Amino acid sequence: MTVRDIIKDCGGAPAIAGEIRRLRELEPESYPLAGVKAVYQWVHNGIPQWHWPVVMKLSGRTEREILQANRELKKSAPADKASRPTDSTPRRSSTRFAA
């Protein structure tokens, strides 16, 4: 079982985002907002723990199953991730504007 499977079992990203929006209207402080685009990112980043209750309700999955899917996602992440440049990677300075 994967994060993608769990999202599918919930009825898809729009269903999850809609349920979160509905619950947030009832208790704004209890539910962080997650739009459809954010839910689609879960396939790459994992399901945030604060959204597990909604996901469990919609999918019928347990905490253990969601945790396992998140762990499998982390295991399958590219091994060369550390070698990829990031915003904090020093860039070569340009001499174009040097005095």
> For residues 69 and 31, is the Cβ–Cβ distance under 8 A?
no
Is the full-model pTM beyond 0.85?
Answer: no
Structural domain boundaries of the chain?
3-78
d(CA 70, CA 46): 5
How long a stretch of residues is the chain?
A: 99
Q: Are 63 and 52 in contact (CB under 8 A)?
A: yes
What DSSP character marks residue 20?
A: H
- Candidates 21, 70, 18, 64; CA nearest to 44 is 70
Average pLDDT, rounded, for the chain: 81
How confident is the model over 41-87, as pLDDT tens digits? 999 999 999 999 999 999 999 999 999 999 998 888 765 454 444 44
Which among 6, 8, 17 has a CA at the least distance from the CA of 63?
6
